[in-house]
Every structure is written in structure tokens, then in C-alpha cells.
Amino acid sequence: MNIAIIGYGKMGHAVELCASKRGHSVSLTIDTPSDWDSKSSLLYKCDVAIEFSTPATAVQNILRCLKAGLPVVSGTTGWNDHLEAVKAECNSLGGALFVASNFSIGMNIVFELNRQLARLSKNLPDYSVSIKETHHIHKLDAPSGTAIHLADDIIAEHKASAWHLADPSQTSEPFSIPITAIREGEVAGIHEIRYDSPLDTITLVHEAKSREGLALGATLAAEFLVGKKGFFTMHDLLQTEP
């Protein structure tokens, strides 16, 4: 495949390395507004775009690629309020879009375990649920898209009805899941789901050791997306895995 990387930061570089190892070529990198001005015509020579930019630029980046007829894999988080509109535009254009809050295969296994744990604990009132996520200091959104994904999946299966960003100075609302967001060092990503009762504690933890796992998942998603139309997630990709 000829890949366009939209957002050429640390994740973009990790994707470039992973894609190269899998026999693909990165034909285009776009990281600034001036890159769009000087390089956008090269989109038509690419097979797929992998987008890891910023919450403020992701929607425009995705739409530019879709309008150029290019399938898009997006790993940027923090723009979920616009997702339905972007999906509608993708369908209107007859395009292909793959979105994930986290491309790690291991994290997606944890998503499934998280849903099962929420179902099992739904009718056990002694357990209170909370989420903690830790990322590097460069991450712009808080809580992380992965933490929100975890919380939304719990809400779908559990008595909890909302989530909120934890604030030690305020009392937590009943039936709302507190999410603690920590930004420190160069942490690739740690997510912990905690069920606490007077008698015991259940924890489910995923720790990314590097960006390599995310880059691999995004590259696999790009391989999956070529030749397809519509909207896809990691669930669709994992369903195709042997």
C-alpha cells in the first residue's frame, strides 16, 4: 500500500516504521497547514490515510481525505461530538472511515473484559466503579478517548448512568463513574478499571509499553480498510482475525 500519514508526530513516526516493516510505503506526510497547501494533490496517489493529529484538526483532516476519495483510519481522540456528522459525510461521499479510541489489540481485549465485568457486577451494589488513566504530558485531551470508551461500555451494561472527570475538591455524583486523568512523563498509556467494595477490590489494568502496539493496530486497520466502503471500528477488524 501507499500510505498518507496525516499528523507526523510521535505516533505518525511509529506508524511509518511499522508500515515499512510490513512492506508498505509512506508516500505522503502532512503535519502543518502549509503541508496541506503544498502536498494535498499527492493524496490521489495514496491508497489509504492514517490520521493521528489533534482534536482541533482531526475532523477537517478526515473530511479532506474523504473528499479526495481516500479511505481514512483515524486514531485521534477528543472529537467524538462530531463523529455522527463525519460518518454521515463519509456515507454521502461513498467513502470508507475506520475510527478507534485505541488501536492496541490488547486494549481491545480489555474492552471486552470490561463489558463482561460490568454485566456481572450490575446487581452488586457494594461495588463502586472508577477509572484511572495515565498518559504522557503531550496528550491534549482528558480524559482519554479510551477511558471514555471504557466508561460508555460500563454505562451500557451497568447501573451507572454517566461519567465525570474526577475532581478531588468535589463530591462524586451517585451513579456517575469518576475518571481520574493523569499526565506525566512519556507514559504510553495506562488504563485501570477498579471495582471497590468493603470486602475486596477488583481491578482490570492495561499498560501499553510503547506506541508500537498502537501503530501495528492502525496499520492492520489500514490493510483491512482498503477496498471497503462505510464506517468501521476495531470490532469489525477483530471479527475478521482468525
Give the Cα separation of 77 and 75 in Å (integer): 6
Three cell numbers at 242? 482468525
Q: Is 127:197 a contact under the CB 8 Å cutoff? A: yes
Which position among 135, 158, 191, 206 bears the catalytic label?
135
Which position among 13, 87, 139, 228 bears the catalytic label?
139
SS (H, E, C) the chain: CEEEEECCCHHHHHHHHHHHHCCCEEEEEECCHHHHHHHHHHHHHCCEEEECCCCCCHHHHHHHHHHCCCCEEECCCCCHHHHHHHHHHHHHHCCEEEECCCCCHHHHHHHHHHHHHHHHHCCCCCCEEEEEEEECCCCCCCCCHHHHHHHHHHHHHCCCCEEEECCCCCCCCCCEEEEEEEECCCCCCEEEEEEECCCCEEEEEEECCCCHHHHHHHHHHHHHHCCCCEEECHHHHHHHCC
- Residue 39 annotated to the active site: no
- Residue 139 annotated to the active site: yes
Q: Is 179:147 a contact under the CB 8 Å cutoff? A: yes
Residues annotated as catalytic (active site), given as ranges: 135, 139
